[in-house]
Structure 1
Amino acid sequence: MCAARYSPQSRASLSSSAANARRTRPDQRGGDLLPGGASITNYDDCPVGRFCVWDHLNGYGSIKIIDPGGDADLRSPAPDWNDRIRSLWNRTGNVWCTFRDINYASLSGDPWPVGNWRGNTAQYNMDMKISSLRPGRC
């Protein structure tokens, strides 16, 4: 039986190549990876007691932590989050109401109440359709 032998230098070179590959490949769930393989954002980035939204599925991509009073117009301030939300996590302990239109309006469809839940908005037909949101029942 013949076993390949590696010097400490060749092992370091192999480890370095693998680490470089991990740094540059995109995460399978949509986020980019930082050195060491950590995602840029994910559900763990949402603080307890806050309502958080992401522009990719499964809590990946850019995150916006919503002010406790809600947001009547996700178009401003920059960056624009209007019709951009693909996943969210309500960690407030209260129901929040999401609306398809700005200023808490429901001209384009019924509002969606979100309890203590995290997931992708598509399963409730709200993928990239939220324009305003606030705490409280719909």
Structure 2
Amino acid sequence: MRKSRTRRTLAALGTTTAAMGIAFSGLMTGTAQAAIGDCPSNRFCLWQHSDYSGRGVPFTGRANAPAGFNDAASSVYNNTNTTWCIFSDANYGGSHRTIGPGGRSRDLANQGFNDVTSSARPC
């Protein structure tokens, strides 16, 4: 009985989280060579440093950058089949860059967007 109640509670939390639009799904870490492979399927991932190194953040849907990651992204990988946009301001405002399905940038400085991202969402 207790296990089924726990499962129902966890399922309800998952549904509530999805309904609220909370899309940040944890942190990733890894070396430059391995980090891009750490971006799970159907996730949009940002990394703290160029070459997919440092702390990584996977997204499943629209979200502001999590605490401590605002204006900190230096590389990106779109491991989804949807075009995503990254924005310079919270709540999808300011200037933006578009990253197509499977798109990546090992150094956002090349697009003039290093340490600028404050929010991301599918376009």
Aligned runs of 1:65-104 on 2, under 5 Å? Answer: 65-66=58-59, 68-71=60-63, 73-74=64-65, 76=66, 78=67, 80-104=68-92
CA shift, 1:54, in A, is 0.6
User: Residues of 2 paired with 1:39 and 1:104: CA distance?
Assistant: 30
CA shift, 1:39, in A, is 2.8
Identity level (%):
32
User: Residues of 2 paired with 1:117 and 1:123: CA distance?
Assistant: 14
For normalisation by structure 1, the TM-score amounts to 0.61
Match of 2:99 in 1: 114
Which one has the largest radius of gyration?
A: 1
Structure 1: stretches of 5+ with no match in the other structure: 1-31, 33-37
User: Residues of 1 paired with 2:96 and 2:58: CA distance?
Assistant: 20
Larger helix proportion, structure 1 or 2? 2
User: Residues of 1 paired with 2:118 and 2:86: CA distance?
Assistant: 8
SS of the aligned residue for 1:61 comes to strand
User: Residues of 1 paired with 2:31 and 2:99: CA distance?
Assistant: 26
Considering only aligned residues, what root-mean-square deviation do their CA atoms show, in Å?
Answer: 2.0
For normalisation by structure 2, the TM-score amounts to 0.68
User: Residues of 1 paired with 2:104 and 2:96: CA distance?
Assistant: 17
Match of 2:93 in 1: 105
**In the comparison of the two structures, how many residue pairs are matched?**
92
CA shift, 1:118, in A, is 1.4
SS of the aligned residue for 1:55 comes to strand
Match of 1:49 in 2: 42
Higher relative contact order (CA 8 A, sep 6+): 2
